[in-house]
């Protein structure tokens, strides 16, 4: 995947929203484990010491090598780690299911338990690193973008910022939301006006949630689909540089 318009493993299919689950969730779900052998690193173990960590989270049906191709365009200061999602999905992997067999599917309304389990797996992987980074940032596309926001909610004191691309926030309230209202972490949210994958209800929910729970940088790209454009990549780099300069 290059820096021009591309679709790095987005969610497919749309449908009606299921609102039957509980309205407030926490972080008690069983973790979906991350495969440590599948992680792609931008630096060897010896070169990671003392540097911040930037976690890269791919989209539905994709893999750890997809967004990792952005690494040459990103700031050099952080160590980059691209994770593989835990669930097989078509030719690639998914962080959480997008619907049950035979049911209408809304990729913007996953189960709160599934979101919690996926985020718990990432947190367990972080806990298991031999040396803890001084700070951890998040960058995710589509399902990976939803994961970035879910990780902020599940561990609001663990992360420094998030870049959320063509994704959304889970629909249920979360026990970490109040802490995020206090911290107001920097979040970059980029999306296109011609995205056929993320439903409008998920966009509207995210538009309402982010200003109340973050210091938001929002960018909307006219005519862009479920992808990352050259213009968006430039603004992502600007945002990241500002975080590391700070």
pLDDT for 35-52, tens place per residue?
A: 999 999 999 988 998 899
Q: Please, what's the b/e burial string for 132-150 (b: 16 or more CB within 10 A of its CB; e: otherwise)? A: ebebbbbbbbbbbbbbbbb
Tokens of 176: 């970490």
Tell me the per-residue pLDDT of 179-200, one tens digit each, with 9 for 90 and over: 999 999 999 999 999 999 999 9
Whether pLDDT at 3 is above 90: no
**Mean pLDDT to the nearest integer, 153-167:** 98
**Using 50, 70 and 90 to split pLDDT, how confident is the model at 7?**
very low
Query: Which residues touch 15 (CB under 8 Å, ≥6 apart)?
Result: 99, 103, 104, 105, 106
Tell me the per-residue pLDDT of 196-210, one tens digit each, with 9 for 90 and over: 999 999 999 999 999
Does the predicted TM-score (pTM) go above 0.85?
Answer: yes
Mean pLDDT of the chain, nearest integer: 88
pLDDT of 199 reads 93
- Taking CA atoms, 155 is separated from 1, 18, 208, in Å, by 30, 26, 21
Tell me the per-residue pLDDT of 208-217, one tens digit each, with 9 for 90 and over: 999 999 999 9
Whether pLDDT at 13 is above 60: no
> In the block, which residue shows the tokens 């040459």?
72
pLDDT of 105 reads 72
pLDDT of 109 reads 87
Tell me the per-residue pLDDT of 83-141, one tens digit each, with 9 for 90 and over: 999 999 999 999 999 854 445 677 898 989 999 999 999 999 999 999 999 899 999 99
pLDDT of 107 reads 85
Whether pLDDT at 27 is above 80: no
Residues pairing with 173 in the sheet: 24
- Taking CA atoms, 110 is separated from 2, 33, 36, 149, 156, in Å, by 29, 18, 25, 13, 21
Share of the chain above pLDDT 70, in %: 86
């Amino acid at each position: 995947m290059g820096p021009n318009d591309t679709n790095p493993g987005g969610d497919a299919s749309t449908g009606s929203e299921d609102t039957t689950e509980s309205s407030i969730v926490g972080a008690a779900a069983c973790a979906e484990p991350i495969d440590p052998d599948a992680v792609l690193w931008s630096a060897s173990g010896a070169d990671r010491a003392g540097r911040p960590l930037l976690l890269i989270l791919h989209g539905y049906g994709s893999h750890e090598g997809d967004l990792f191709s952005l690494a040459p365009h990103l700031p050099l200061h952080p160590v980059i780690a691209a994770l593989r999602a835990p669930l097989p999905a078509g030719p690639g992997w998914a962080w959480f299911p997008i619907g049950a067999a035979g049911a209408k599917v809304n990729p913007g309304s996953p189960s709160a338990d599934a979101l919690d389990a996926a985020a718990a797996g990432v947190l367990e992987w972080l806990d298991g690193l031999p040396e803890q980074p001084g700070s951890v940032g998040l960058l995710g596309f589509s399902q990976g973008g939803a994961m970035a926001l879910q990780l902020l909610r599940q561990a609001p004191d663990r992360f420094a910022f998030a870049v959320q691309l063509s994704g959304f926030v889970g629909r249920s309230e979360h026990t970490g939301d109040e802490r995020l209202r206090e911290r107001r972490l920097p979040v970059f949210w980029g999306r296109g006006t011609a995205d056929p994958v993320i439903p409008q209800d998920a966009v509207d929910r995210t538009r309402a949630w982010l200003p109340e729970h973050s210091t938001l940088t929002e960018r909307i790209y006219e005519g862009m689909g479920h992808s990352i454009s050259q213009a968006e990549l430039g603004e992502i780099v600007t945002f990241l540089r500002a975080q590391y300069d700070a």
